Amino acid sequence: MSSISTLNADLHCHSVVSDGTLTPEELAERAYANGVRLWALTDHDELGGQARAKVAAKALGMDYLSGVEISVTWMGQTIHIVGLGIDAEHAVILEGLRHTREGRSNRAQMMADQLLKVGIPGAYEGALHFAGNHQLISRTHFARFLVEQGVCRDTEHVFKNYLIEGKPGYVPHQWAKLDDAVAWIKAAGGVAVIAHPGRYKFNAMQMDELFKHFKHIGGVAIEVITGSHSPDQYKTYGKIAQQYGFLASRGSDFHDPHESHIDLGALPHLPDHLTPVWSLFQ
Ligand SMILES: [Zn+2]
Ligand SMILES: [Zn+2]
């Protein structure tokens, strides 16, 4: 069993197709060079990079799972659900994601209006510039603009002082419903994974409800080893995976060589006693 848990699988990262700064090809090369042997690109609400990522992985001799990270509103908060092993051309998930992306542009305009009120002009155009040709404008693109403008020293500083609840530039948004996101992933033949559960600000009862409900609707795994968790949280969510009968996933959530604390593949292995989500794809 140990060989399967020590596989260097990195099943969560972002390319220029959403809010990362590297192309799918650059990510594939970086992942492979860092020792990753099973990889998934999981752009936010977008499948536009999947074909390129798969081709690039294959050329390097690296196993690949098509992936996505879906934004979901649950109990008034945004949570992320990763889908792995999906058919990236399946009509149900393509249509669902198209719906989810709608409204991002309006939201971005409202975020820019708020920033203008605190004396920061041009944020919409600035964020759009960072989003490149890709029309998926996210908070990360606004964060990079605020760093470029010298408003904050880095994006971490931005996410403490701007763009979050109670701070300038925060605009609540209704993302996909949890049941829908899981249904799209299942319809496309994939498995649903709760991304970085340690990041959500729910109380213990709400977390319990989230895990139980997710399991009830066919969710199968949670991220245990992720760039968004502290070493203590590796332990906490390892226990939770066992307690609720979830498979365990591992992924850096890599976005950019300078912004991201953890590089592709540069994470601890999954603990031996957990069953990796990739056991489903062997
Ligand atoms: Zn996420
Ligand atoms: Zn992510």
Q: pLDDT tier at 2 (50, 70, 90 boundaries)?
A: very low
Domain assignment present for residue 170? The answer is no
Nearest-ligand number for the alpha carbon of 251: 2
Question: Where residue 133 falls among pLDDT bands split at 50, 70, 90?
Answer: low
CATH number of the domain to which 120 belongs = 1.10.150.650
Let me know if residue 130 belongs to a domain: yes
In this structure, are residues 53 and 84 in contact, taking their beta carbons and an 8 Å threshold?
Answer: no
Distance 227 CA to ligand 2 centre (A): 9
What's the average model confidence in pLDDT over 148-159?
95
| Contact assessment for residue 114 and residue 123, using Cβ atoms and an 8 Å cutoff | no
Based on the fold, state whether residues 60 and 154 are members of the same structural domain. no
| Domain CATH code at residue 87 | 3.20.20.140
CB atoms under 10 Å from CB of 91, counted, come to 10
Query: Do residues 199 and 248 share a domain?
Result: yes
71 C-alpha to ligand 1 centroid (Å): 8
Would you state the pLDDT for residue 257?
95
Task: Clarify whether residues 130 and 20 are in a common domain.
Answer: no
pLDDT single digits (tens) 60-105 = 999 999 999 999 999 999 999 999 999 999 999 999 999 888 888 8
Q: How far apart are CA 39 and CA 59, in angstroms?
A: 13
CA of 254 to the centre of ligand 2 (A): 7
Q: How remote is the CA of residue 44 from the centroid of ligand 1, in Å?
A: 8
Q: How far is the CA of 112 from the centre of ligand 1 (A)?
A: 22
Residue 142 lies in a domain: yes
Q: Is residue 202 part of a domain?
A: yes
Q: Which ligand lies nearest to the CA atom of residue 72 in the structure?
A: 1
Q: Which domain covers residue 93, as residue numbers?
A: 2-100+175-281
How many whole angstroms from 3 Cα to the centroid of ligand 2? Answer: 26
Find the 195 Cα to ligand 1 centroid distance in Å: 6
* 124-130 average pLDDT score: 93
Cβ atoms 274, 249 nearer than 8 A: no
Q: Is residue 168 part of a domain?
A: no
Report CA(78)–ligand 1 centroid distance (Å). Answer: 9
Q: What is the 116 CA–ligand 2 centroid distance (Å)?
A: 28
The pLDDT of 241-246, averaged and rounded, is 98
Ligand nearest to the CA of 43: 2
Counting beta carbons within 10 angstroms of the beta carbon of residue 70, is it exposed (0 to 12), middle (13 to 18) or buried (19 or more)? buried
Q: Average of pLDDT values for 52-58? A: 98
CA separation for the pair 152, 143 (Å, rounded) = 9
Give the pLDDT mean for 123-130: 93
- Tokens 């149900």 correspond to 92
Q: How far is the CA of 276 from the centre of ligand 2 (A)?
A: 19
Q: For the segment 173-213, what is each residue's pLDDT rounded down to a tens digit?
A: 889 999 999 999 999 999 999 999 999 999 999 999 999 99
Q: How many domains does the chain have?
A: 2
Instruction: Identify whether residues 182 and 224 lie together within a single domain.
Output: yes
| 249 CA from centroid of ligand 1 (Å) | 13
119: CA distance to ligand 2 center in Å?
Answer: 30
